[in-house]
Amino acid sequence: MSMDSNGLPPRNQGDQKSPSKMKQDSPQKKKRQSPFRKLMKLIMILVILGVVAGGGYLYMIYNNVINTGTDSPVAAENSAKVKPLTMLILGTDYREETNSYLTDVVMVASMNPATDSATLVSLPRDTLIQLNGYSQRKLNAYYPRFKVAEKESGITAEEEMRVMLSKYLDLEIDYVTVLNFQAFSDAVDALGGVDVNASQNMCYRDTADGTNINIKKGLQHLSGDEALDYVRYRKSNCDPKTPASDDFSRNQRQSEVLQSMMDQMKSLGGLVKIGKVVGAVSENITTTIESDQVKNFISAYWDMSKDNVNFVPVTGTWNSPYVYINQNELTIAKEALAQELAGEHVFVNSTSSE
């Protein structure tokens, strides 16, 4: 993504054309969801983020609250309780004022109930995608383009991303979940914030959209908005300026924040805030998972420890405007995802050079 001269990438700008300049239908007003559906979405977020480390409490809630039917049945052999599954997780920068769907976060997770473990691979948002059947562009630009084409193609953007990333990673992806930044921020706030260890000072201000990043080096307890700033920080425009940050550092900070959220959920204090999370995130997430399958996920992974979550970031070489992926690391990441599905949960070091 091209950056403005000040620092953060324009929040409504793609690699070639701003989504705001594309013909795009106005977002449809969502139907009011039942408490059951809201709780299902909440649980899906917690499963995806890996915060089921304190899942004994979630399992208790599940048993006490969920006593209704499902949208569609899931065959017994495809249940998350017995079958390893994969999920594409997208974090978009969507806000009503920008109407942008750029994906700042792209992760793929493999989960295996036999080992009660998961592997999460993160890809840089500026990754140059060169794939047969697809126009060459940055990874984060595909989802907004697929959104624009939904009405004409009849295929959802989530399905388009599932098919494309399955091909890119040589892996059949089962489900797709999309969260916007507001869902991330509100989930962090509902858990009481997150603890991080900032490796540097971060400072960036933009009066146009109200951005005011001011994070100091060292141990910090961050609110939802601050955690979002921490994950997204790119470059400083303050005086004195603070060091810039690349896609690879952002991926590391994503993993750090997710693990901190997992720690928050270990305590009963995290449980009592779930009601707030339900209200906060219900309108800010889209998932292709069936409600019946959500129940299976909870049953399978309620006791998963964060030590059983393997984070595998893929890096590469930045040559504006693209990140050229380290092919050796990409191969290692593909193997890690496949090994997880095969029941071989192996922690890997994906930082070796080609």
* Backbone φ, ψ for residue 181 (5° rounding): -65, -30
Supply the pLDDT for residue 271. 52
Closest CA to 44 of 79, 87, 106, 78: 87
What gap in Å lies between CA 257 and CA 227, rounded to an integer?
7
What is the H or E stretch that residue 198 is in? strand 194-198
Residue positions counted in the chain = 354
The stretches of 134-190 forming alpha helices (DSSP H) are 142-153, 157-169, 181-190
What gap in Å lies between CA 232 and CA 217, rounded to an integer?
16
What gap in Å lies between CA 209 and CA 211, rounded to an integer?
6
CA atoms within 13 A on the CB side of 343: 4
Supply the pLDDT for residue 121. 93
Residues 312, 120 contacting (CB under 8 angstroms): yes
**Residues of the chain scoring pLDDT < 50:** 1-31, 35-36, 39, 50-70, 350-354
What is the H or E stretch that residue 195 is in? strand 194-198
Supply the pLDDT for residue 137. 95
Supply the pLDDT for residue 63. 42
Supply the pLDDT for residue 47. 52
Structure tokens at 196: 């991080």
Q: What angle do CA 252, 345, 172 make, to 5 degrees?
A: 80
What gap in Å lies between CA 131 and CA 127, rounded to an integer?
12
What gap in Å lies between CA 272 and CA 274, rounded to an integer?
6
**Packing angle, helices 247-264 and 224-232, rounded to 10:** 150
The stretches of the chain forming alpha helices (DSSP H) are 35-49, 55-65, 142-153, 157-169, 181-190, 224-232, 247-264, 268-271, 274-281, 291-301, 327-341
Supply the pLDDT for residue 353. 38
First to last CA, the chain: 24
